[in-house]
Structure 1
Amino acid sequence: MAYKNQQEFIEAIEKAGELVRVKAYVDPKLEMAEITDRMSKEPGGGKAILFENTGYDFPVLMNAYGSEKRMCLALGVNELDDVARDIENLFKLLSAPKEGIIEKLKLLPKLGEFASWMPKVKKGRGACQEVVYTEKPLPSGGEWGGPPDITKLPVITCWPQDGGPFITLPIINTKDPNNHIRNVGMYRMQVFGPQLTAMHWHKHKVSAKHFNEYKKLDKKMPVAVALGGDPVYAYSATAPLPENVDEYMLAGFLRKKKVELVKCITQPEIEVPADADFVIEGYVDPNDEMLWEGPFGDHTGYYSLPDWYPKFHITAITHKKNPVYPATIVGIPPQEDAWLGKATERIFLAPIKMTLVPEIEDMEMPVEGVFHNLVITKIRKDYAGQGQKVMNAMWGAGQMMFNKILVLVSQTADGSALKLGDYKACAREIFKNLNPATDVSFSQGPMDVLDHSCSKMGFGGKMCIDGTLKFEEETADDYLPLMGETGVDFAGLLTGRFREITGVNDALPKEQIPCLVVSVKKDRKGHIKELHREVAALPGMELIKMILYVEHTVNASDLALALWRFCNNLDPVRDHLLAPTAKDGYQCMGLDGTIKTKAFDNFQRDWPNIIVADDATIKVVDEKWGSLGIGPFISSPSLKYKNQMYGQAAVAATE
């Protein structure tokens, strides 16, 4: 379904009981983020929040995509898999044999639908240009509000160590200067002054490639940033589409109606959605010096480190009458972005199945893996080595190239149904089929620039855990899985023997999942690898196939927390060790998910801190909670992580 504008979407989620309005004053600096963080971590993602008293002329909408129900409302579907089914049916129709005239004629209505999805540039001004801020009044059209000044918008500051206020839901429009193909992306923008922000596009992104082409031509690059409008615009800007596929075509497909665009006023080479709430026009000059941008509390749950990024010079700001400023925060999961990721997981499953890896049956990206870090994939397995075939195909597919840990599972031996959302059942099946010595593959390749665990920025290790049902050709002759009740007190065995082990989660072996999570206080070089060899050699440890090591400040018994920290802090190639057990032919895989330092790990990069709110902000929000009118008191999620932040600072102090 197509929404006329963002206001209509707000009305829809409010009617569905998914929105709360806050009439009390809330400061965009830190307070809005703290309130939203509390709300977004409520069961099911809490409610969307409309802050009506911001100290600026405009209200702020946050957590709008932060639940499955709101994500479905944004995309106009009953459930997220509906979109995948539409895409799959479309692929099947287009790829089916068409031998006769009747079969060909059946395509005509669908071709008409294609045309209805394509974006259209209309003449004249759009609603997004009802109020115009430029250096000088325009000859005609639009109410002139004076020179553009981004500081007059309620741009939020999310976290205490952020470099400043950031625009967090920008729909960034650029074009290739050679073929004029449009790209729509989403990259954060730090505000540096009334007419200056940074443009945080990573080197892998299409807009960065456009910028490189402008560099070659020695031309200023026109850019336009839209905010608000139909909610599918923001989703489409985050979608992992192939290069040269127009994101507004995807938006048209999702809303079942073409996107109407209008030309920008000061950057007429670029078009933007006519129904956007705000548009920020400007340019990036390849001859400019770069800006030192960041840090920023990012979706990994850690601060992304500062670095050099291009300057974005603002030449105009336009907006509709009575606009709403949309914003989001990212941080320790779960957050609103988890639901955007869930939509991508479901929507893009069909294209991956139909065009790249037809044996894929399902895919799951747990929130603890913050998108790229951990992906579980179920395949239909028909022959030996098919897991490796899928692994290579997936690591070569678009943004899946950033995946760190890929876990594969297939049909069960008895043919019983296996749902990826049932993590315990999946883990039992995976570990039942897993020989740590032969079924874990390692590789290296491009990684997310935000992955702080890589020894080199943007390049690091990958791991595939092949838990599929094995054929005879894939099975070592002398290997028989040891299953069933272990009868071993692993927690007592390890904590009683090793002073550096501060906690052991041995709940998984009791569920027939032969994996331990162990908290360790490192105090020397090579500590984890040395420890793992000693642990693996203990009697009874042949029953354990894998041990995940985490920092001593991490509660190993909190599995979700431990997995989040583990996935973020692991480079699989650098941080794995396969050690022999006391039983011949059986080995145990150790994976080091602790903090890496120069002193203990020869790690040369800065290690970021996890994201928590400061005490002053927590106190202010606690005191004003009763005046917000958004329900019972919710304590700050940051309180759970305070000791872990200080633990990291203590480690850094030892260097």
Structure 2
Amino acid sequence: MSYKHLKHFIDTLEKADELVRIRTYVDPKLEIAEITDRVSKLPGGGKALLFENTGYDFPLLINAMGSYRRMCMALGVQELDDVAAEIESLFKMLSKPREGILDKLTMLPKLGQFASWMPKVTGGKGACQEVVMPAPDLYKLPVMQCWPKDGGPFITLPVIHTKDPMNGSRNVGMYRMQVFDKDLTGMHWHKHKVSAKHFMEYKKLKKRMPVAVILGGDPVYTYSATAPLPENVDEYMLAGFLRKRKVELVKCLTQPELEVPADADFVIEGYVDPEEEPIWEGPFGDHTGYYSLADWYPRFHVTCITHRKDAVYPSTIVGIPPQEDAWIGKATERIFLAPIKMTLVPEIVDMDMPVEGVFHNLVIAQIHKDYAGQAQKVMNAMWGAGQMMFNKILAVTDEGTGIQDYRQLAQYVFRHLNPATDIYFSQGPMDVLDHSCSKMGFGGKMCIDGTRKFDEETDDSYEWPAVRKDLNVQQLAARFPEIKGVNTTLLQQDIPCLLVSVQKNRPHHVRELNERLYELPEMAGIKMVLYVEHTVDITDLPSALWRFCNNLDPKRDSFVVTLPAGGPHGKRRAGIGMDGTLKTRILDNFERDWPNIIVADDATIRRVDDKWKELGLGPFVASPSLKYKHQIYGEEAVVQQ
């Protein structure tokens, strides 16, 4: 289905008991984010929140797509897999050989459907232009500051429109916008993004670049702006396909080269001047759960702001997972499985992006395996596919196990894994927000081949003794005082993997510790050791895995240990250690600043605690930040030694 406007979606959520209206005054500076963080981490993602008393003329909607059900409602489907099934059906229909005239005629209705999804520019003004601000003023919008160390307030759900100056092709993307003045923001597009490429073309031409930003409208616009589409596919064609109704566009008032959806809630028009000095933008509490560091980005000058008479300001927060963006990512995982299968990896059966991996860090691919080396083939194909190029850890398995039951999956992968021969390392482009890379946007990648092995892939010179589930943690800690904790939970579940918290105090410390640990007889059979810093709560596996994935550069921080032949069969054994601790200049020769994790400040937590009963959100929910207070590195947003 399609929504007429954002208010239509809000009404639909309310009728489905998926929304709470909050009439108590709540400050967009820090307080809304703190409340949303508590709600979004409730089982299933909590409820959507409509803050009606923000001190501004407009209500603020947040967490609107922050659950599986609401994500499905936003896209008008019962299940996210329904979209993938429809895409796969279309692919098959279009690729089917057509021999006779009757076969070709059967295509006409579908071709008509394609035409009905294409965006259309209409004449006149749209509802998004019902009110024109006499003078554009971003300070009239309830723009949130989400976290205490943020550089300022940020527009967090902007749908940004640009065009290629050479061929006029449109790109619709989503890049955060820090508000610096009533008519000035930063434009945080990364060098890998299409809008950044458009910007470089304008720079060559020495021309101002028109930019238009919408907020609100049909929620499918917001989703489509985040979708990993090829450069030559219009995001509004995807939106039309999802809503089963074409997107009607109107020309901007001060930037007429650009068109925006007529039913948007807000339109912010302006330009970026490639000849102008960039602005120092950030830090920002990002979707990784860490602050992304400040850097230089283009200035966006606002020339006009228009809005609907009944406009609602949509927003979101990102931070320590899970947040609303986890469900947006889940939609992408399900929807784009079909195109990956039909165009790039025909053997793929299923795919999963665990929330602890914050999208790119960890991806699990299940394939139908027919020959030796197929996992490596899949690895190369996926790392060459669009935004999958940012993937850091890829785990490949086959149809011998499901991938939704993580315990069963881990048992299967480790049973078929030789750490010395089945883990592959590479380097390539990484997300600019990945702080673990020694060089920004370029770092290590790892593929774990957890498929069953053919004879050609098997090295019989290795053996795997039974794992000792009674590993004496106290003895390990006594022998190695830098070890502050050992989690053996996975060993009890027949998963030969240890989680160790360590306090480093010298260069190469983790590598040397890993070698000494694997020399111990009681470590026989343990295939993998994951190291995290001593402040991490290793009893909380999801949280520890989130910290580990963020802090690891797989190529730089992985240490394979092969022990010489011995034992009753005269065979070798091997294991791998991975250093997921924070990196510093002194101990790791790491030259970049290292960001801090995101937590709310004590004053904001107290204010929200005090007004919780007035909010109508049910039983009291404590701040999730309290769990991580002892894990931050100090009062500053970055640390470097």
Offset at 1:385?
Answer: 0.4
Name 2:6's counterpart in structure 1.
Answer: 6
**1:635 matched to 2:618:** no
User: Quick check: 1:6–1:228 contact (8 Å CA) kept in 2?
Assistant: yes
**1:421 matched to 2:378:** no
CA distance in structure 2 between the partners assigned to 1:377 and 1:461 by the alignment: 19
Distance 1:216 1:475, change over 3 A: same
Name 2:526's counterpart in structure 1.
Answer: 544
Offset at 1:478?
Answer: 2.0
User: Quick check: 1:228–1:234 contact (8 Å CA) kept in 2?
Assistant: yes
Name 1:463's counterpart in structure 2.
Answer: 446
Deviations 1:98-117 (A, max 9, x none): 11222211111100000000
2:379 alignment partner, one of 391, 394, 402: 391
Offset at 1:480?
Answer: 3.7
User: Quick check: 1:39–1:45 contact (8 Å CA) kept in 2?
Assistant: yes
Offset at 1:487?
Answer: 4.1
**1:293 matched to 2:276:** no
User: Quick check: 2:202–2:274 contact (8 Å CA) kept in 1?
Assistant: yes
CA distance in structure 2 between the partners assigned to 1:540 and 1:98 by the alignment: 65
User: Quick check: 1:411–1:469 contact (8 Å CA) kept in 2?
Assistant: no
SS in 1 for 2:56: coil
Name 2:363's counterpart in structure 1.
Answer: 375
Deviations 1:165-197 (A, max 9, x none): 000000000000010000000000000001100
CA distance in structure 1 between the partners assigned to 2:544 and 2:274 by the alignment: 43
Name 1:148's counterpart in structure 2.
Answer: 136
SS in 1 for 2:595: coil
Deviations 1:604-638 (A, max 9, x none): 00000000000000000000111111111110000
Aligned runs of 1:584-595 on 2, under 5 Å?
584-595=571-582
CA RMSD of aligned residues (A): 1.3
Q: TM-score, normalised by structure 2?
A: 0.98
SS in 2 for 1:588: strand
CA distance in structure 2 between the partners assigned to 1:16 and 1:580 by the alignment: 58
Name 1:207's counterpart in structure 2.
Answer: 195
**1:495 matched to 2:477:** yes
**Larger CA deviation: 472-481 vs 149-158:** 472-481
SS in 2 for 1:342: helix
CA distance in structure 1 between the partners assigned to 2:314 and 2:304 by the alignment: 19
Offset at 1:647?
Answer: 6.7
User: Quick check: 2:596–2:639 contact (8 Å CA) kept in 1?
Assistant: no
Name 1:320's counterpart in structure 2.
Answer: 308
Offset at 1:13?
Answer: 0.8
Offset at 1:557?
Answer: 1.5
User: Quick check: 1:553–1:647 contact (8 Å CA) kept in 2?
Assistant: no
Deviations 1:408-463 (A, max 9, x none): 00122xxxxx3211000000000000000000000000000000000000000000
Aligned runs of 1:116-515 on 2, under 5 Å?
116-133=116-133, 146-412=134-400, 418-483=401-466, 486-515=468-497
Aligned runs of 1:39-188 on 2, under 5 Å?
39-133=39-133, 146-188=134-176
User: Quick check: 1:292–1:309 contact (8 Å CA) kept in 2?
Assistant: yes
Distance 1:409 1:505, change over 3 A: same
Residue correspondences, number: 636
**1:557 matched to 2:539:** yes
User: Quick check: 1:191–1:197 contact (8 Å CA) kept in 2?
Assistant: yes
CA distance in structure 1 between the partners assigned to 2:331 and 2:58 by the alignment: 29
Distance 1:122 1:638, change over 3 A: same
Q: Which amino acid aligns with 2:278?
A: M
Q: Which amino acid aligns with 1:224?
A: A
Q: Which amino acid aligns with 1:430?
A: V
Offset at 1:649?
Answer: 7.1
Name 1:596's counterpart in structure 2.
Answer: 583
CA distance in structure 2 between the partners assigned to 1:229 and 1:12 by the alignment: 14
Offset at 1:646?
Answer: 3.7
SS in 1 for 2:560: strand
User: Quick check: 1:53–1:59 contact (8 Å CA) kept in 2?
Assistant: yes
Q: Percent identity?
A: 71
Deviations 1:143-168 (A, max 9, x none): xxx21101110000000000000000
- Gaps (5+ residues) in structure 2? none
User: Quick check: 1:538–1:581 contact (8 Å CA) kept in 2?
Assistant: no
Q: Which amino acid aligns with 1:444?
A: Q
SS in 1 for 2:555: coil
SS in 2 for 1:540: helix
User: Quick check: 2:594–2:638 contact (8 Å CA) kept in 1?
Assistant: no
Q: Which amino acid aligns with 2:579?
A: D
- Gaps (5+ residues) in structure 1? 134-145, 413-417
User: Quick check: 2:595–2:638 contact (8 Å CA) kept in 1?
Assistant: no
SS in 1 for 2:27: coil
Deviations 1:178-222 (A, max 9, x none): 100000000000000011000000000000000000011111000
CA distance in structure 2 between the partners assigned to 1:252 and 1:618 by the alignment: 42
CA distance in structure 1 between the partners assigned to 2:172 and 2:263 by the alignment: 16
Q: TM-score, normalised by structure 1?
A: 0.96
CA distance in structure 2 between the partners assigned to 1:651 and 1:276 by the alignment: 38
